[in-house]
Amino acid sequence: MSVKQLFDLTGKVALVTGGSRGLGLQMAESLGELGAKVIISARKQQELDEAEKHLKDMGIEVKTITADMSKRETIADFVDEAVKAFGDIDILINNAGATWGAPAEDYPDEGWDKVMNLNVDAMFFLTREVAKRCMIPRKYGKVINIASIAGLSGNPEDMKTIAYNTSKGANVNFTRALAAEWGHYNINVNSICPGFFPSKMSQGLLDAMGEKMLERIPLNRFGGEEDMKGLAALLASEAGRHITGQNIAVDGGTTSS
């Protein structure tokens, strides 16, 4: 099989949560360009409409679904709608996430619950539903969890995001455990651990600490609009079929220094 054939996603169906902007939209572009039919979800319809137009202008077949992944009682219906649109889901990218900043000693219950519900609970319940419905019966699937370098280490003292770091650490070991358990179903489970990418969620942090953060990155640049595309394509395609249980940093070298 040629390298082009290994990366070809023609006929595959990909579901990307939090896919209306930022890293989610970037990965949806990548898989769509390789031939996948793409389903993106988000909470805000306006952002979904803008993303849908953008992807369709690129020639990508796309379905949008308004959904709040933190409400676990809606997940089964959400998967129903996705499957009705394009058929069984081959590729699941768990990208929807939240953060909340506060000192650990004063961290509010509301903030902890919000971050954990979306970053950990929703990821599990959606992955379980998609696997039982689409992947395990066919013995095929690619699950890509979007963790973070915040799940691989602690924080500098001036970054106070205890719930986010904890949730992303959970994502990392969730990936390892699920890869080991589901390997015999021919389901690959990996995570991508982004470093600092300018986004709506990270903008406040970058405004406050951007120069200091840049000093910690060996490549001396933040992540850009195409820097998640290649790894997402690898892990979603047959080119990555012998990779599972891995947590791969896309961080300009931050975790190496």
| pLDDT at residue 146, as a whole number | 98
| pLDDT at residue 81, as a whole number | 98
Q: Is residue 72 part of a domain?
A: yes
SS3 state of residue 248: strand
SS3 state of residue 168: helix
Per-residue pLDDT band at 212 (split at 50, 70, 90): confident
Q: Is residue 41 part of a domain?
A: yes
pTM of the predicted model as reported, rounded to 2 decimal places = 0.95
- Give the pLDDT confidence of 45-78 residue by residue, as tens digits: 999 999 999 999 999 999 999 999 999 999 999 9
Which positions are annotated as active-site residues?
164
Give the pLDDT mean for 130-148.
Answer: 98
Per-residue pLDDT band at 154 (split at 50, 70, 90): confident
Which residues span the domain enclosing 189?
A: 3-250
Q: Which helix (H) or strand (E) holds 42?
A: strand 37-42
Number of Cβ atoms within 10 Å of the Cβ of 73: 7
What is the number of structural domains in the chain? 1
What CATH number corresponds to the domain at position 145? 3.40.50.720
Confidence check: pLDDT of 203 > 90: no
What is the distance between the alpha carbons of residues 257 and 254, in angstroms, rounded to a whole number?
A: 6
What is the distance between the alpha carbons of residues 9 and 12, in angstroms, rounded to a whole number?
A: 5
Per-residue pLDDT band at 118 (split at 50, 70, 90): very high
Q: Is residue 187 part of a domain?
A: yes
Mean pLDDT of the chain: 94
| pLDDT at residue 159, as a whole number | 79
Q: Is residue 256 part of a domain?
A: no
Question: To the nearest 10°, the Cα dihedral for 211, 213, 214, 219?
Answer: 180
Confidence check: pLDDT of 18 > 70: yes
| pLDDT at residue 204, as a whole number | 65
More confident of the two residues 215 and 47: 47
Instruction: Give the CA distances from residue 64 to residues 54, 67, 125, in Å, rounded to whole numbers and listed in that order.
Output: 12, 9, 20
- Give the pLDDT confidence of 162-176 residue by residue, as tens digits: 999 999 999 999 999
Q: Is residue 233 part of a domain?
A: yes
Q: Is residue 222 part of a domain?
A: yes
Q: Is residue 57 part of a domain?
A: yes
Per-residue pLDDT band at 222 (split at 50, 70, 90): very high
Q: For a pLDDT cut of 70, what percent of the chain falls above it?
A: 95
Return contacts of 155-161, CB within 8 angstroms, 24+ apart. Answer: 156/216, 158/209, 158/212, 159/101, 159/205, 159/209, 160/101, 160/102, 160/103, 160/104, 161/99, 161/100, 161/101
Name residues whose C-beta falls within 8 Å of residue 78's C-beta, 6 or more positions apart in sequence: 41, 65, 67, 69, 126
Q: Is residue 257 part of a domain?
A: no
Confidence check: pLDDT of 210 > 90: no
What is the distance between the alpha carbons of residues 241 and 257, in angstroms, rounded to a whole number?
A: 30
Give the pLDDT mean for 128-144.
Answer: 98
| pLDDT at residue 213, as a whole number | 80
Q: Which residue has the tokens 């990996």?
A: 190
